[in-house]
Amino acid sequence: MANKAINDLLKYNIVWLPWTQPVLTSNTSYGTVSANAYYSSSYPWRAADGTIPVYAQENLCWKIHNSEGQYPGWWKWEFPFTLFISQLKFYGSVDYDGNTDFNGRWYTDSTKSVPIGDAFSIGHNSQAPLITPANQSAQGYITNSIYLDATSGNNGGIGELVITAKYFPGGKLIL
């Protein structure tokens, strides 16, 4: 959603409530999580399962592999409510051989018209969280989903995603 549209929405004094990110237990335990592919048991919902994986814990993250022809790739979380996101923080997945590099960008949806933060690169064995503040829009991002465009890489993915947001208690806004 463009900044002008956010400003237009905000002037209506919509009530936003604090949102606590749920711990996902399946691709449909809170909204719908999907991806173009996943490697082994690195299911899409594992990107927000409440655990930060360490060395070679492929079953605790979402990951795709270049050797499996899974790049370019994507990951999407469609929320059951409209969120007002102020920050995304994510940890890159960790592989046993150190080949965890990938490049990508977060968006508010699969049309890739509204980016959340800048494009990024995660290097080999990068376990440090990459923080994508929503400072391109002074207010934040109003969206019904988030979308990761994984443009290139080797064995990369989301070790854990942490979203700071408020939600619209009336369900989904038409954006």
Closest CA to 64 of 104, 22, 25: 104
Give the number of C-alpha atoms closer than 13 A to the C-alpha of residue 170, restricted to the C-beta side.
5
Structural domains for the chain: 3-167 (2.60.120.260)
Distances (CA, A) of 57 to 28, 45, 140, 159: 22, 15, 33, 9
For 8, left (φ over 0), alpha (ψ -120 to 50), or beta? alpha
- How confident is the model over 55-99, as pLDDT tens digits? 556 677 888 777 777 778 899 999 999 999 888 888 777 666 656
Structure confidence at residue 62 (pLDDT) = 83
For residue 55 the two structure tokens come to 């060395």
Structure confidence at residue 109 (pLDDT) = 93
Structure confidence at residue 80 (pLDDT) = 96
Give the residues of the chain that fall short of pLDDT 50.
Answer: 2-3, 134-136
Structure confidence at residue 93 (pLDDT) = 75
pTM of the model: 0.86
Structure confidence at residue 118 (pLDDT) = 81
Structure confidence at residue 54 (pLDDT) = 63
Single-letter code of the amino acid located at 93 = S
Residue 102: partners with Cβ closer than 8 Å, 6 or more residues away: 71, 92, 121, 122, 150, 152, 153, 154, 155, 156, 157
